[in-house]
């Protein structure tokens, strides 16, 4: 699933600045919301822009930042991808790049990187439960001013996800969400969940 669907997303995101912004916007739609609601949110954002009712909390500031800085984000991530998709230090830099966007924590910054082909993963509440970990275990507060310590914590997070690798985390998460049902019951198989990501990004 990952090698098919995430690679389609990665190609889209790294082709144009708009493609990368599509990935970032989709990522905001997944914060504190069921995946199945993303198309509805994205439609509203497309219609109402930064005034969308779904850009609550710090999401509005985050999307505004991404829109204003998409050129730099696009070229920076291109350079990092040329270096390596698997090196822990390079991926730490990539996660740090998107972590700077208001409203995105280490987990969601890593989700963006995962969709761009880097060997890192989104350890959301579902995955943390499976690991027996809590949100606080992977939270790096924006208020942390010590850059060396911040990078050390991001690197530790990346290394943790690499123990099983991005393919494992993507595929097993999609299967888990499908089996769990709930708010995402319209996505009955892991394949459906995985492909749904593509439809949300490339609209």
pLDDT value for 182: 66
Nearest one of 154, 44, 167, 64 to 109, comparing CA atoms: 154
Q: Residues 69-78: what's their mean pLDDT?
A: 98
Residue 33 Rama label (left phi>0; alpha psi -120 to 50; beta): beta
pLDDT value for 99: 97
How much is the mean pLDDT over the chain? 95
- Of the listed ranges 63-67, 82-86, 98-102, 121-125, the least confidently predicted one is 121-125
The residue among 151 and 131 whose pLDDT is bigger is: 151
The residue among 113 and 143 whose pLDDT is bigger is: 113
- Rounded CA-CA distance 25/200 in Å is 10
H or E segment to which residue 21 belongs: helix 17-29
- Rounded CA-CA distance 154/12 in Å is 26
Q: Residues 173-193: what's their mean pLDDT?
A: 84
Q: Residues 120-128: what's their mean pLDDT?
A: 92
Whole-model pTM: value is 0.95
Look at residue 1 and tell me whether its pLDDT is greater than 70.
Answer: yes
Q: Residues 69-82: what's their mean pLDDT?
A: 97
DSSP-assigned letters across all residues of 17-61: HHHHHHHHHHHHHTTTS-GGGHHHHHHHHHHHGGG-TT-TTTHHH
- Rounded CA-CA distance 106/99 in Å is 6
pLDDT value for 129: 87
Look at residue 126 and tell me whether its pLDDT is greater than 90.
Answer: no
Which 8-state DSSP code applies to residue 143? T
**Dihedral sign (CA 162, 158, 29, 13):** negative
Q: Is residue 184 within 8 Å of residue 169, measured between CB atoms?
A: no
Q: Residues 163-179: what's their mean pLDDT?
A: 93
pLDDT value for 183: 62
Segment 98-118, tens digit of pLDDT: 999 999 999 999 999 999 999
């Amino acid at each position: 699933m990952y090698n098919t669907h995430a690679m389609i997303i990665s190609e889209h995101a790294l082709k144009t600045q708009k493609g990368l912004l599509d990935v970032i916007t989709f990522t905001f739609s997944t914060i504190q919301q069921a995946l199945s609601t993303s198309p509805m949110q994205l439609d509203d954002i497309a219609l109402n822009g930064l005034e969308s009712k779904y850009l609550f909390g710090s999401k509005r500031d985050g999307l505004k930042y991404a829109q204003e800085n998409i050129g730099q984000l696009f070229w920076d991530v291109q350079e990092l991808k040329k270096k390596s998709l698997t090196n822990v230090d390079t991926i730490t830099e990539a996660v740090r790049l998107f972590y700077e966007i208001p409203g995105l924590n280490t987990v969601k910054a890593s989700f963006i990187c995962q969709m761009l082909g880097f060997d890192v993963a989104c350890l959301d509440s579902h995955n943390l439960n499976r690991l027996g970990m809590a949100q606080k275990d992977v939270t790096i507060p924006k208020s942390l001013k010590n850059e060396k310590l911040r990078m050390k914590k991001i690197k530790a997070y990346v290394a943790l996800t690499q123990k099983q690798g991005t393919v494992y985390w993507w595929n097993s998460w999609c299967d888990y969400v499908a089996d769990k049902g709930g708010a995402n019951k319209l996505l009955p198989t892991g394949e459906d969940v995985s492909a749904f990501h593509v439809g949300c990004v490339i609209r």
